[in-house]
Amino acid sequence: MIVALIVICEVGFWVLLAAGLATRYLLKMPRAGMALLLCEPLLEVLLLVVSVIDLKNGAEPSWRHGLAAVYIGYTVGHGHRTVKWLDGHAAHRLGGGPPPQKPPQYGMARARHEGRVWLGSVVAASVASVLLLLAIWYVGDDGNTDGLRSWIFGAWRAAGIHGLIALTYAIWPKKAPQADSAVAARDPEHVPDLLVRGPGKDEEQVR
């Protein structure tokens, strides 16, 4: 049941997102579209409530309950960025707005961007850990909570790996490609004749 509900929530997330964007930009009803977008957090609340009820009714804690907590954490940590990104593209393609601004590609600006994305992963791991710890406390010592504890470790391991990847952009900043002029300066065939011959030769030809 929990797995099916996770699938339903995932599908419902994209359905509500598509319906909200279409209502805002195709039907020209921004308030109704925003209302649909605001309904998305209700899916996560529903998933959490059902998971708790399932544990309350005596279900053995398993990877299904852990997956529900991680899914909710990911939505909290990265859901807003996903909606904002898609909203920008929808406003451009459907609403005639300006093209969405692309994230920086080079230098420390790219490193700061990757750091902000990594903070979303930290938020996701923190939310998932809190939910899992609450589930472990709720079950108590009577049930086996090893599966739930393993999800906490997995969430922070994923955040740690993401952090190492983001750190590489700060240690080795990605450089912008050099202009073609630097290559042309090394090839006399592509250098203007005035620079190769010098001004004296041109003056002699004029004479």
* DSSP notation for 147-183: HHHHHHHHHHHHHHHHHHHHHHHHHSPPPPPPPHHHH
pLDDT in tens, 7-20: 888 788 889 889 98
- Ramachandran sector of residue 96 (left: φ over 0; alpha: ψ -120 to 50; beta: rest): left
Q: In the predicted model, is pLDDT for residue 194 greater than 60? A: no
CA distance 203 to 192: 16
Q: What average pLDDT does the segment 174-183 reach? A: 66
Amino acid letter for position 50: V
pLDDT at 196: 45
Q: In the predicted model, is pLDDT for residue 166 greater than 90? A: yes
pLDDT at 183: 45
Q: How many residues does the chain have?
A: 207
pLDDT bucket at 49, cuts 50 / 70 / 90: confident
pLDDT in tens, 29-43: 888 988 888 887 788
Average pLDDT value over all residues in the chain: 81
pLDDT at 182: 45
Q: In the predicted model, is pLDDT for residue 117 greater than 90? A: yes
Q: In the predicted model, is pLDDT for residue 6 greater than 50? A: yes
CA distance 37 to 193: 62
Q: Which residue has the higher pLDDT, 6 or 81?
A: 81
pLDDT bucket at 167, cuts 50 / 70 / 90: very high
Q: Which residue pairs from 8-13 have beta carbons closer than 8 angstroms and sit at least 24 positions apart in sequence?
A: 9/43, 9/44, 9/46, 9/47, 9/71, 10/71, 12/40, 12/43, 13/40, 13/43, 13/75, 13/79
pLDDT bucket at 125, cuts 50 / 70 / 90: very high
Q: Which residue pairs from 175-178 have beta carbons closer than 8 angstroms and sit at least 24 positions apart in sequence?
A: 175/106, 175/107, 176/105, 176/106, 176/107
Please give the share of the chain, as a percent, with pLDDT higher than 90.
27
pLDDT at 139: 76
Q: Which residue has the tokens 């309950």?
A: 65
Two tokens, residue 156: 């922070």
pLDDT in tens, 139-160: 777 666 777 889 999 999 999 9
Q: What average pLDDT does the segment 47-74 reach? A: 81
Two tokens, residue 30: 């921004």
Q: In the predicted model, is pLDDT for residue 83 greater than 80? A: yes
Question: What distance, in Å, lies between the first and last C-alpha atoms of the chain?
Answer: 94
CA distance 136 to 155: 16
